[in-house]
Amino acid sequence: MGEIKVIELKEEILSDNKNFAEELRTRLKASKTFMLNLMASPGAGKTSLVLNTIRELRDEFMIGVIEGDIASVVDSEKVMKEGIPVVQLKTGGFCHLDAYMIDKALSELDVKNLDLIIIENVGNLVCPAEFDTGAIKNAMILSVPEGDDKPLKYPLMFSICDVLVVNKVDFLDYSDFDMHEMKERVKSLNPEITIIDVSCKTGFNIGKWAQWLKDEIDLFQQEDALKV
Amino acid sequence: MGEIKVIELKEEILSDNKNFAEELRTRLKASKTFMLNLMASPGAGKTSLVLNTIRELRDEFMIGVIEGDIASVVDSEKVMKEGIPVVQLKTGGFCHLDAYMIDKALSELDVKNLDLIIIENVGNLVCPAEFDTGAIKNAMILSVPEGDDKPLKYPLMFSICDVLVVNKVDFLDYSDFDMHEMKERVKSLNPEITIIDVSCKTGFNIGKWAQWLKDEIDLFQQEDALKV
């Protein structure tokens, strides 16, 4: 009699990707380049936050951007107008970015001379949460119009992020979004997460977000210096 | 000013996969192992054709099977009952098999001592057509209940196959399936394709299909012998 050998491809692929992501992080530490992986649903405000971050931090840090998108280059064009180096990954249907794809993008950037690389991941709350990109920190945006139940529906995404940016708080007055309830749900999934309310439209708390990111970059570059 | 560098991930991934598939074919030629990639929609009769093929050819050839499925092992169990070595690739959501996945499966089979490996690809007429598995020949099944318009809807799949098995011809009397029209459509996409009408249920033309496959294996093993 024969025997069925079962290979769980998704587990193997995720495991291979995780190992390669660790390699990327080692390289980023060597060049003191902080890489942030920014995830969100379509329309939550990823590109707006990227543009706001560039404007807040461009005087202090050399910044590069990796834009992930299924087909378009619209977001990249906005970043390019800021005079920031940008690589567009067109996934051609894939709904996530993985470490191998990020490596292809990094090879097109002058990584050694960059302090901060922001990955704008594909707009999706499921698949990007599964694939380690090699980033130093993971960030997500939840926008108020999406609803306060999202932590219940996408627990993995909320669990793996270091910071949650709650965007479009200018909509709170016109919405039944329960901020307290949402934060309780998130904290129960991920007690360590930092949560920052912002409005990319009005500029509310953008400085606070930029300060969080600056502190993380400074800490990362100091840690690296201490090791060397 | 910056500049957008665009990386077309799907093209790069397909190109990397194609190169690796060529490596697999070279290894299969060295061991005189004919690998057939069998594709179809869900329910078209892939597992039935695999089982019929095993029964027709098991006296002449050493056979192994690679089963691709998103989650279940039902098909593998049927093959195992025939006493044939089988590897189950659980894709965990992926809708195709690629050469890297097939390589993982081959490492679990005694390839050197096999004459024929049949890949039962994931049930889907889109994605599997894009990814070269490293197979020597590509086969697809179209079943009569699916309709005669499928070549219009999935032209790539019909274009890349060496042989089309039209299954469930026992349904022709109860259907408005136009066999002549369907074959014209297929031939206009792929003039070289072989088309064989069968019924896995009644056994109609299973011998003809098995003979086609036997001739291909014999030719492949002779070609290989001539080169050595």
For A:20-79, CB contacts with B below 8 A are 73, 76-77, 79
CA-CA distance, B57 to B60, in Å (whole number)? Answer: 5
pLDDT digits (tens, 9 = 90+) for B216-228: 999 999 985 555 4
CA distance A80 to chain B (A): 5
Among the residue ranges A32-41, A117-126, B2-11, the one predicted with the least confidence is B2-11
pLDDT at residue B1 greater than cutoff 60: no
pLDDT digits (tens, 9 = 90+) for A71-104: 888 899 999 999 999 999 998 878 899 999 999 9
Q: What is the mean pLDDT of residues A113-134?
A: 96
* Predicted pLDDT of residue A1: 52
* Predicted pLDDT of residue B228: 47
* Predicted pLDDT of residue B120: 97
* Predicted pLDDT of residue B29: 97
Write down the mean pLDDT value for chain B.
Answer: 94
Tell me the one-letter amino acid at A218. Answer: D
> Which among B4, B86, B87 has the least Cβ separation from residue A88?
B4
Nearest chain B residue to A93 by CA distance is B10
Task: Answer for the pair A37, A139: CB distance below 8 angstroms, yes or no.
Answer: yes
**Do the Cβ atoms of A4 and B88 come within 8 Å?**
yes
CA-CA distance, B52 to B69, in Å (whole number)? Answer: 20
Q: What is the CATH number of domain B28-218?
A: 3.40.50.300
pLDDT digits (tens, 9 = 90+) for B80-126: 999 999 999 998 878 899 999 999 999 999 999 999 999 999 999 99
* Predicted pLDDT of residue A198: 98
Q: What is the CATH number of domain A25-216?
A: 3.40.50.300
pLDDT digits (tens, 9 = 90+) for B147-170: 999 999 999 999 999 999 999 999
> Which among B10, B73, B93 has the least Cβ separation from residue A10?
B93
- B163 φ, ψ (degrees, to nearest 5): -145, 140
CA distance B129 to chain A (A): 15
CA-CA distance, B114 to B85, in Å (whole number)? Answer: 10
Residue % of chain B over a pLDDT of 90:
86
Write down the mean pLDDT value for chain A.
Answer: 94
- A/B interface, count of CB pairs below 8 Å: 102
C-alpha distance from residue A172 to each of A148, A157, A203, B82, B185 (Å)? 11, 23, 15, 63, 57
B84 touches chain A (CB under 8 A): yes
Q: Using a CB-CB distance cutoff of 8 angstroms, which residues of chain B are in contact with residue A108?
A: 5, 7
pLDDT at residue A210 greater than cutoff 90: yes
* Predicted pLDDT of residue A105: 97
pLDDT at residue A228 greater than cutoff 60: no
Query: How far is residue A200 CA from its own chain's centroid?
Result: 16
SS3 B117: strand
Confidence of residue A223 (pLDDT cuts 50, 70, 90): confident
Give A150-180 as a 3 state SS string: HHHHCHHHHHHCCEEEEECHHHHHHCCCCHH
* Predicted pLDDT of residue A34: 98
B228 touches chain A (CB under 8 A): no
**Do the Cβ atoms of A87 and B3 come within 8 Å?**
no
Q: Using a CB-CB distance cutoff of 8 angstroms, which residues of chain B are in contact with residue A3?
A: 80, 85
B85 touches chain A (CB under 8 A): yes
* Predicted pLDDT of residue B2: 56
Among the residue ranges A7-11, A133-137, B24-28, B163-167, the one predicted with the least confidence is A7-11
pLDDT digits (tens, 9 = 90+) for A165-187: 999 999 999 889 999 999 999 99
Residue % of chain A over a pLDDT of 70:
96
CA-CA distance, A44 to A160, in Å (whole number)? Answer: 18
Domain extents for chain B? Answer: 28-218
Residue % of chain B over a pLDDT of 70:
96
